[in-house]
A and B are shown apart, each in its own frame.
Chain A
């Protein structure tokens, strides 16, 4: 009988996995033994990291998205519909169109959503760059501010040892902010304050979630006259007085509150009842090696929806996706799983508007920071503008 592989989510994880599945299982697909479908609630594919650049006027909307169909191999059956509920017992999903889609193997890559509404006053008074519209609104403010105080806060999920989206983004954007204000000639009149919460995964009272990077940050910030504070875990915001309050009892005023907001899984995943994450965050319990969802048969998950301690980043999807592809292929061909994820994350951090810093780490080793340089910046820019689309097509 034909094996049906259903991939949910047309973001980076789902797209590269569907394409790679076709190339891996081509012999079976060409003999009609395997069928790959990708189901997404949007006909567009967004290059999400570019939202961050939108806040600095570096990307237009049509430069950061492509029609999803144009990124898929023709063998993939692409369906635009929204999963409303996962019916794992019946091995099918129910969609908002009323249709059901059955599967033999399911891959979930539905990402996560910013949830500023989970902190009182943050949605009203804060800004962020994790989606297109908020990033565009932030760009307006950053382009016009002439004097005042920009306060940066980072909020982690409450589920222990789960990071916020794209670990390095708050540092990247703080440095880009400094560059932008210098370019605009207003840096001496605008104070930038970078803060980090008391608890950041396994670390306490640091400026970043990994120790080696923490240690180089004060020098980088001091060189640019960026103020920094650890131990600021945002508790609530007063939008009228423009004051941010911390659980540690501090009060800080701001003109712009640039926040990394709380995040959560999408509704269908939260409502599936499989998550054990606290605070209704919805992360799926993930086998850190095989990438299966614990307690379910032939269901895999990757990207931002996992409950693993690794960065919620495209650079994690890139290393998790081939493990899932190999495991599905070997389950079909050999009746067992054959590959393990080692926690590898690969990225090129944007350190200010011009420089870049390639980095990688895994379950057993942390990032080793190297001096950011222009060549790294050029690598990042070419990734943003071109290489990303080859990665999505499963070519790199």
Chain B
């Protein structure tokens, strides 16, 4: 930027002039046009304009309700993945600490822990949910 020039009018008018007369800029522009030429000829640049137009449409079509639903889905997905990740990490750490694999008997004994029992109940409740989802046979054709 030309910091010595304090005349605002002159700066604004001289910039485009500079650009037009600058041979490097001209060469760059020419190269750019050469690149665009086949895109123009093949009507492929239209796709970029279409992309901009569709992007603008998506922005205009989005409303608060859609943002709310998408954000809720995002929170649930991230929250679910985070909770599952934490549990897997903790459990694998606990398993790694075991010097010997637990015997069948000691495995059963872990069920004395009320938290383990709660966890097992959670698994069974999940099984119930899955069963409910599958309880309706495929409807007959109509």
- Asked if residues B132 and A373 are in contact (CB atoms below 8 Å), the reply is no
- Asked if residues B57 and A319 are in contact (CB atoms below 8 Å), the reply is no
Bound-state CA distance A20–B66 (Å) is 11
Expressed in whole angstroms, the minimum distance between the Cβ of A59 and any Cβ of chain B is 16
User: Which of A166-174, A237-245, A374-382 touches B?
Assistant: A374-382
- Asked if residues A23 and B46 are in contact (CB atoms below 8 Å), the reply is no
* A42 and B57 contact, Cβ closer than 8 Å, known pairs A74-B132, A374-B50, A375-B51: no
- Asked if residues A319 and B63 are in contact (CB atoms below 8 Å), the reply is yes
Bound-state CA distance A195–B136 (Å) is 46
Expressed in whole angstroms, the minimum distance between the Cβ of B39 and any Cβ of chain A is 15
Q: Which of chain B's residues have a CB closer than 8 A to the CB of A371?
A: 53
Cβ-based interface call for A69 (8 A): yes
- Asked if residues A360 and B60 are in contact (CB atoms below 8 Å), the reply is yes
Bound-state CA distance A142–B19 (Å) is 60
Q: Which of chain A's residues have a CB closer than 8 A to the CB of B97?
A: none
Q: Which of chain A's residues have a CB closer than 8 A to the CB of B112?
A: none
- The main secondary structure of chain A at its interface with chain B is mixed
Bitwise, A353-383 to B at CB < 8 A (1) or not (0) is: 0000010100000000011011110010000
Expressed in whole angstroms, the minimum distance between the Cβ of B53 and any Cβ of chain A is 6
Q: Which of B57, B66, B70, B132 has the most CB of A within 10 A?
A: B57
Expressed in whole angstroms, the minimum distance between the Cβ of B136 and any Cβ of chain A is 5
Bound-state CA distance A346–B57 (Å) is 10
Cβ-based interface call for A396 (8 A): yes
- Asked if residues B65 and A319 are in contact (CB atoms below 8 Å), the reply is yes
Bitwise, B37-64 to A at CB < 8 A (1) or not (0) is: 0000000001100110110011011010
Nearest chain A residue, comparing its CB with the CB of B52: A375
User: Count the B residues whose beta carbon is within 8 Å of the partner chain — how many?
Assistant: 25
Q: Which of B47, B68, B139, B142 has the most CB of A within 10 A?
A: B139
Bound-state CA distance A322–B69 (Å) is 10
- Asked if residues B133 and A67 are in contact (CB atoms below 8 Å), the reply is no
Expressed in whole angstroms, the minimum distance between the Cβ of B116 and any Cβ of chain A is 24
- Asked if residues B66 and A396 are in contact (CB atoms below 8 Å), the reply is yes
Bound-state CA distance A68–B133 (Å) is 11
- Asked if residues A67 and B72 are in contact (CB atoms below 8 Å), the reply is no
- Asked if residues A376 and B61 are in contact (CB atoms below 8 Å), the reply is no
Expressed in whole angstroms, the minimum distance between the Cβ of B46 and any Cβ of chain A is 7
A-B contact count (CB 8 A): 57
- Asked if residues B73 and A358 are in contact (CB atoms below 8 Å), the reply is no
- Asked if residues B69 and A396 are in contact (CB atoms below 8 Å), the reply is yes
Bound-state CA distance A395–B63 (Å) is 14
* A358 and B58 contact, Cβ closer than 8 Å, known pairs A44-B139, A373-B50: yes
- Asked if residues A43 and B136 are in contact (CB atoms below 8 Å), the reply is yes
Select one of A20, A360, A379 contacting B54, CB under 8 A.
A379
Q: Which of B50, B68, B70, B142 has the most CB of A within 10 A?
A: B50
Bound-state CA distance A193–B85 (Å) is 62
- Asked if residues B142 and A322 are in contact (CB atoms below 8 Å), the reply is no
- Asked if residues A20 and B61 are in contact (CB atoms below 8 Å), the reply is no
- Asked if residues B63 and A370 are in contact (CB atoms below 8 Å), the reply is no
Select one of A42, A322, A374, A395 contacting B73, CB under 8 A.
A395
Cβ-based interface call for A118 (8 A): no
Nearest chain B residue, comparing its CB with the CB of A356: B54
Expressed in whole angstroms, the minimum distance between the Cβ of A347 and any Cβ of chain B is 9
Cβ-based interface call for B138 (8 A): yes
Bound-state CA distance A395–B47 (Å) is 29
25 A-B pairs within 8 Å (CB atoms) are namely: A20-B69, A23-B72, A42-B139, A42-B142, A43-B136, A43-B139, A44-B142, A67-B136, A70-B133, A74-B133, A319-B63, A322-B68, A360-B61, A370-B53, A370-B57, A371-B53, A373-B50, A373-B53, A373-B54, A374-B47, A375-B54, A376-B54, A379-B54, A396-B66, A396-B70
Binding site for B on A (CB under 8 A): 20, 23, 42-44, 67-70, 74, 78, 319, 322, 344, 346, 358, 360, 370-371, 373-376, 379, 394-396
Binding site for A on B (CB under 8 A): 46-47, 50-51, 53-54, 57-58, 60-61, 63, 65-66, 68-70, 72-73, 129, 132-133, 136, 138-139, 142
Give me 5 other A-B pairs in contact (C-beta within 8 A), A44-B139, A370-B53, A394-B69 excluded: A74-B129, A74-B133, A319-B65, A371-B53, A376-B54
The 3 closest A-B pairs by CB, nearest first: A43-B139, A358-B57, A322-B65
